[in-house]
Amino acid sequence: MSSSRKNILAWLILAAAAVLIAGGLRVLRTQSLLGETDTVVQGTTEFAEESGTSIQETAVHVPTTDAAEQSNNSFAVADEYAVTNESVNDSYHYSSFIRILGVISLLIGCAACIAVLILLQQDEPLIGPDGTMILLVLSVLFRLYSWNYVIGLSLFIFVLFITLRELTGWVKHRFRLTWLIGIRIAYRLTQLAYGRDIHHFSAQLEHFQEGKPVEISDGLYADMEAKLLLMQQEHAKAIQEAVASERFRVDLITNVSHDLRTPLTSIIGYGELLQNEPLSEKGAESLNQLNRKANYMRSLVEDLFELTKVSSGVIEPNMKELDLVSLLEQTIGLMQDELDAADLTVKRQYVHEKILIVTDGGRMHQVFANLLENACKYALYGSRIYVYLDENGSQIQVRIVNTASYEMDFTPDEIMQRFVRGDKSRSTKGSGVGLAIAETYTASVGGSFAINIDGDQFSAIVRLPR
């Protein structure tokens, strides 16, 4: 129910309740007056009977000179007494019933008022709690309840009910100052005096949020608008510098990667040719070392090249529907040689045997391969790797957990930086960009990547949208 309809319904019920209460009080007061009249009449009759005086003598003394006229007067007084006595008897019959009706009217009116205060509380101020209190005070000063016993009292009770409803709503909304009519009047006066300046400043705030140019006026908020314009200019300058820096970084890494590819390809090719030539034992060992370093350099260059392209948004993801369980199993199968070399066992816990999602299969394969490769390098020899696949609302969560073979004295934020390695002695293979690639690739398909470290337990968490 809308606020206006709720107010109209509440006012109608409160008005009816006020009329019922005022009518009930009127009935009860009438009954009390009738009771006093009956008591007076009954007392007069009893006094006459006790004194032995005739009804005619007690009721009226009319000096007459004519015996017939005196007799007629006596009969008239007797008839009047009989009618009065009959009226008193009738009032006794109906007084209890009318009194019950008055009490019922009072109870119904009070119940209706309580129901409105509980079920139809004030959501928005009408004239505010202070305004209704002023109205109530004016009603008392002008003695509204004395103008007419039913109409005036009904209006007074209605004002009282409206005041109670406004106060109840104000308490419900934790005594908001905006409910006070004085505050609202002051706000309206401020709008009249500075409305144009406030409107212009609000418009400039919207322009600032939307990136539109901010205009400075000569009004009340000119200084603040000037500060907004300065902030906007500094923000635009910072964005330009950041874009230029990012473009320079991307171009540098791209060019360096491209320039390094050609000589590295030649070095690796000649190294492979030299392996077929007869060499001394020391020469063969040096050649193997050369080939390993060259392959490491090529892998590092390729990772940097791909990472730069993806992070700069040059290559859009190829989103297709695929089975995430099958993708994980294929990645684990391709990494089986490295897992066997580290004597690592993969334990799987999948929530379903098949989970279809829309994502870039190539990038997610690279993410899972990097995480498994990272585990092969740094996990405790002969331990287990746990792969969990769960559903979490509209997201799919893949968690890869392993036990580290060294003390992890770093934070998740530190280890996810580029070229940062958990093995600070750098005795193991790795370039330090594997986790950075995993984070960048996951973000490129709309997912999120996180690291959790708990003692010796290292967890990589990938969350993907359905």
Q: How does pLDDT run across 417-428, given as a tens digit for each residue?
A: 655 555 554 444
Say which residues have a Cβ less than 8 Å from residue 122's Cβ, sequence separation at least 6. Answer: 7, 10, 165, 166, 168, 169, 170, 172
Q: How does pLDDT run across 85-141, given as a tens digit for each residue?
A: 555 455 555 577 788 888 898 899 899 999 998 888 888 888 888 888 898 888 888
Tokens representing residue 67 in the block: 């015996």
Q: Tokens 């409105």, residue?
A: 116
Higher pLDDT, 8 or 245: 8
Averaged pLDDT of the chain: 79
**Domain boundary assignment for the chain:** 3-178, 194-315, 317-465
- Is CATH 1.10.287 the classification given to domain 194-315? yes
Q: How does pLDDT run across 156-181, given as a tens digit for each residue?
A: 889 999 999 989 889 888 888 888 98
**Residue 389 above 90 pLDDT?**
yes
Q: Are strands 384-392 and 345-350 parallel, antiparallel or unpaired?
A: parallel
Give the model's pLDDT for residue 213.
87
Phi then psi for residue 387, to 5 deg, are: -115, 110
Give the model's pLDDT for residue 312.
65
Percent over 90 (pLDDT), the chain: 19
Tokens representing residue 207 in the block: 């322009």
Integer CA distances (angstroms), 71 to 53, 66, 83, in order: 16, 9, 19
Higher pLDDT, 242 or 46: 242
Residue 205's Cβ-count burial label (10 Å; 0-12, 13-18, 19+) is middle
Give the model's pLDDT for residue 39.
52
Higher pLDDT, 374 or 429: 374
Rounded Cα–Cα distance for residues 120 and 123 (Å): 9
Integer CA distances (angstroms), 354 to 350, 357, 462, 465, in order: 9, 10, 17, 16
Integer CA distances (angstroms), 50 to 38, 61, 86, 199, 392, in order: 18, 19, 21, 91, 99
Give the model's pLDDT for residue 387.
94
**Residue 348 above 50 pLDDT?**
yes
Residue 190's Cβ-count burial label (10 Å; 0-12, 13-18, 19+) is exposed
Residue 47 pLDDT level (bands cut at 50, 70, 90): very low
**Residue 35 above 70 pLDDT?**
no
CATH fold label, 317-465: Heat Shock Protein 90 (3.30.565)
Rounded Cα–Cα distance for residues 452 and 373 (Å): 17
Phi then psi for residue 253, to 5 deg, are: -65, -40
Mean pLDDT, residues 338-356 taken together: 91
Tokens representing residue 75 in the block: 């009969």
Rounded Cα–Cα distance for residues 304 and 91 (Å): 107
Q: How does pLDDT run across 279-292, given as a tens digit for each residue?
A: 888 888 888 888 88
Residue 12 pLDDT level (bands cut at 50, 70, 90): very high
